[in-house]
Structure 1
Amino acid sequence: MTTTDPFPTDWTPQQVEVMHRLRDWAVGFAELNQHLATWMRLPGSDANALGQIIWADEANAPLSPAQLSRRIGMTSGATTVLLNRLETAGHIRRSREHADRRRVTLRPVPAARERAHEFLALAGTEIAATLRAADPHELATVISFLSKIAGAATEATDRLASHRQELQRQAVSVRAR
């Protein structure tokens, strides 16, 4: 894949507007997460992690600590400290549910799930109303588009991680000389 600087590219006004709306959603989501943090009496990073754990569990795709670490952009060590705080506070539990007993699964405790649901019932009213009012064809288009955008973001993240690893290997090679 060749790299292209997106800024000097001629974007249509509609493409620029899409990028602005995606940014607006990201900002709004971050603000809602801060409200969740206040609601749960947690630091923002802990609320973000707890939200990720609850969403994944409700989708029947519970996270491992490594998966959570990638989702929240923290090192494995920092994620372990965060998980220790959440577990000590009684918000999550770690379990070994797989044949490979080394694999840890993160689950919210029922009380934390209930508290988060209370928050969503209060905070999600407008979003739920908007989703319920949307035309099914409009939703299908949005799902398709956002899936493509998420895939592109994943590709970019993977490419950047590979680039970072290559730079680290080069730095180690230079120091070894």
Structure 2
Amino acid sequence: MYRKRDTRRDQLVAEITAQLRRYSVDAQHIGHAFAALHGLNATDLHALIAVMDAELYGQPMTPGRLGEQLNLSSGSVTALIDRLERGGHIRRDRDTADRRKVFLHYAERGATLAMDFFRPLGRRTDGVMAGFTDEELETVHRFMAAMGTSMREHRDAVRAESARRSAG
């Protein structure tokens, strides 16, 4: 139960914060269910999401960038990529202009597994979004983008503080 808030804005902020928290927990549960079903661990799942997002935004993922995003050493990234490639989840492609560069992409099998698992959620999401006007979706998009930026900035600050404490 929410405690009484002074203004409607205070109440909305509290409720939105609680809903974001719940959404995050629910999304983690769904992600963990997908991972468990396909023999993946949490890091594997985070890597697949990073590769998928990179493709979505047209910024091919490299092993180095993946390591930075997941805060992993190059050896750990290599083992991770090898494991995901063996499982048919991702593939490595060499850059045609510079053969030393490697890009990571979703493999056909991995994409099919993800689509099959997440298609029902996609239909539910589409149904929810259909209930909002384009203008409302623009506002939601701006809000979610700003919240995502805020979350990543906090994550990076926590990582930096953790590294600082470990070093000293």
TM-score scaled by length of structure 2: 0.77
Instruction: Provide Cα deviations, 1:17-51, integer angstroms capped at 9, x if missing partner.
Output: 12111111111111121232244343343233223
Alignment of 1:65-104 (within 5 A): 65-97=63-95, 99-104=97-102
Moved more, 24-33 or 70-79: 70-79
Could you tell me how far apart the structure 2 residues matched to 1:28 and 1:122 are?
Answer: 15
Q: Which residue of 1 aligns with 2:46?
A: 48
Identity %: 27
**Cα contact 1:94–1:104 (8 A) shared by 2:** yes
Match of 1:154 among 152, 155, 159: 152
In 2 relative to 1, CA 132–70 (structure 1 residues): closer, same or farther, beyond 3 Å?
Answer: farther
Distance 1:76 1:149 in 2: 30
Amino acid at match of 2:11: P
Question: How large is the Cα RMSD of the aligned pairs?
Answer: 2.8
- Where does structure 1 lack aligned partners over 5 or more consecutive residues? 1-9, 172-177
* Shift in Å, 1:149: 1.6
Offset at 1:165?
4.8
Task: For residue 93 of structure 1, give the secondary structure of its aligned residue in structure 2.
Answer: strand
Report deviation, 1:164: 4.3
- Distance, in Å, in 2 between the alignment partners of 1:22 and 1:74 is 27
Gaps spanning 5+ residues in structure 2: where?
1-5
Query: Cα gap change, 1:167/1:98 in structure 2, threshold over 3 Å: closer, same or farther?
Result: farther
Distance across 2 between alignment mates of 1:101 and 1:117: 31
Partner residue, 1:5: none
Which residue of the other structure, out of 19, 22, 25, is the alignment partner of 2:23?
A: 25
Q: Secondary structure at the match of 2:60?
A: coil
Aligned pair count reads: 161
TM-score when normalising by structure 1: 0.73
